[in-house]
A and B are shown apart, each in its own frame.
Chain A
Amino acid sequence: MAALLAPTTLWFLVMLIMPLIVILIFSFGERAAVGGYGGGFTFEQYANLPARLKAFQNTLTYAPLGTLLSLLVAYPLAYFLALKVDRRFKLVLLVLVIVPFWTSLLIRTYAWIYILGGRGIPTILEWIGIEGVRLINTPTAVLIGIVYGYLPLMVFPVYVSLEKLDKSLLEASNDLGGNSFKTFLQITLPLSMPGIATGCMLVFILLMGEFLIPAFLGGGKVFFIGNAMVDLFLQSRNWPFGSAVAATLVVIMLITVSIYMRLAMRNKTGADQSLM
């Protein structure tokens, strides 16, 4: 039994616990004169955290908002695929949702720079008489990029939970005179909650550490914590402060995800049992 667990335990020790401890130690240190870690013990880095308040605010606003938007776009599609599509086309349509995932996220996001840039959608809007629309380097652009990038991650869990749904329940509800909206609210939606919970958590976790999408579509103006951290390590070479920001992000993640899981579990609707 111990032999089976040894590699995993070793991995956690070297690749998870040690790096986190190093980050924690560094976060109480001082920046060396030329950059990097300069030793010492101080709370200065944590005291300086308000200097990144905007990045934390942006992340904590756009991560939940992006998750919600992804869900709103994904749910009807998943519903359509699970309940409305002829069996013959189901597999093909499902695969078509994942295929975009197979070109690098970098290239796909870059394509949006052209679509949202001055010669893309704004030009098309000008033709139909709407002028002065700016999309690229705005929060809107970042949110579009987020929904685009993470849509498949949301569609799949929701699809799976809707697929498992007992269709006779829906029929029974309709037979008993419930209109289709009522059926949706009272039966479909609650039963698809596990899928929603799983999808939302997946997307939310990824968004909290997002770097690429705001970097490409935000033009350095819509800064996430991920961007602030890359900046601290790759431009200012301020390892201690970067470590403090990273440690804070980990704590925020632990708190939000724990609360989320607790809520989901208590409601019995549950984060998908298969995930945790």
Chain B
Amino acid sequence: MRIYATVVYLFLYVPIGLIVLFSFNAGRHASELRGLSIQWYGKALSNPFAGDAFFTSLEIAFIVAILSSLMGTAAALALQSMKGPLRVILDGLIYISIMIPGIVIGIATLVALVTVFDFFNPLLATLWPEGYTPPKLHMGYASVIAAHTLFTMSLVIIIVRARIAGMDRALIEASMDLYASPWRTFYQVTLPQIYPAILAGFLLSFTFSFDDFIISFFVAGPNTTLPVYIFASIRRGITPEVNAIGTMVLAGSLSLLIVAQFFMRDGRRRAKVN
């Protein structure tokens, strides 16, 4: 059993090890190791496109995570006490949006938005006052965020709903009986119980959006996200620069995790003291 686990961990980590090893490659080609150097880290850090792509991804993932947790939680709460055909329809839509592969979402969004834009852009141009450049709708931040949020919002709804289902409803009813306002009930009774689920949904949404390639590939327009940038770099012959970017992202998330762990432990200790 232990040997088996070791083999699986090796399977998981040999490619990662290669990525990290080649990021220190002194040579130009990712495949041949020619001495060690940190030059590709310098190159990656001073490359404004890689930086832009990283910050674009970060920004998009952050907005997606916030939108999804807000809308998803709101919807989960509303759906909880809802019956009838609308509930059935919405449940169906949640289920479909989780189930449709990302590639279909990407393509369908691209095709639909291009069609809509082609319709509205000439219209905008004719409506706009003479002498001013009319605004032009095109793919970009908004389309990526909207497409990612479709999936992640449904994810949050499902996670939060599961949590609500396991929640003690007697508390809410008691709160209502004591004439607390719905807002106060939510804030003081419901929220503390469901916030772990919201947090989990937030993190999942962020991770999904940050690592998504296929949807962004179709709908990002000129705003290159990090995975799309990496895809393009790989196609022009992978250099160790891409490995350096991958290693830095890995190191970044690892240190975040360690920090989070530290804070959690700290929080637990303080809770104990109190």
Contacts and interface: CB of A to CB of B under 8 A. Distances in A.
A22 B117 CA distance: 13
B211 to A, nearest CB: 6
A250 B104 contact: yes
Given A4-B77, A11-B153, A103 B16 contact: yes
Contact of B97 (A16, A110, A230, A254): A16
Contacts of B15: 100, 108, 111-112, 115, 148
A23 interface: yes
B117 to A, nearest CB: 12
A102 B127 CA distance: 47
Nearest to A36: B114
A101 B211 contact: yes
A179 interface: no
Q: Is the interface of B mostly helix, strand, loop or mixed?
A: helix
B221 to A, nearest CB: 15
Given A107-B246, A249-B104, A84 B1 contact: yes
Interface in B92-123: 93, 95-105, 107-112, 115
Interface string B235-274: 0001000110011011001100100000000000000000
Contacts of A130: none
A8 interface: yes
B149 interface: yes
A42 interface: no
A7 interface: yes
B74 interface: yes
A249 B106 CA distance: 14
A246 B107 contact: yes
A276 interface: yes
Interface string A109-135: 011101100010000000000000000
A111 B17 CA distance: 10
A96 interface: yes
A114 B110 CA distance: 33
A14 interface: yes
The bracket for how many chain B residues form the interface is 35 or more
B111 A80 contact: no
Contacts of B105: 19
Contact of B71 (A8, A80, A239): A8
Contacts of A246: 104, 107-108
A211 B100 CA distance: 14
Given A15-B109, A103-B250, 8 more contacts: A17-B93, A23-B108, A95-B257, A96-B9, A104-B213, A205-B101, A209-B214, A257-B99
Interface of A: 1, 4-5, 7-9, 11-12, 14-20, 22-23, 26, 37, 73, 76-77, 79-81, 84, 93, 95-97, 99-108, 110-112, 114-115, 119, 148, 151, 205-206, 208-212, 226, 229-230, 233, 239, 242-243, 246, 249-250, 253-254, 257, 273-276
18 contacts: A7-B75, A15-B109, A16-B100, A23-B104, A76-B5, A103-B16, A103-B246, A103-B250, A105-B227, A106-B234, A110-B234, A115-B15, A148-B12, A226-B214, A233-B218, A246-B107, A254-B96, A274-B159
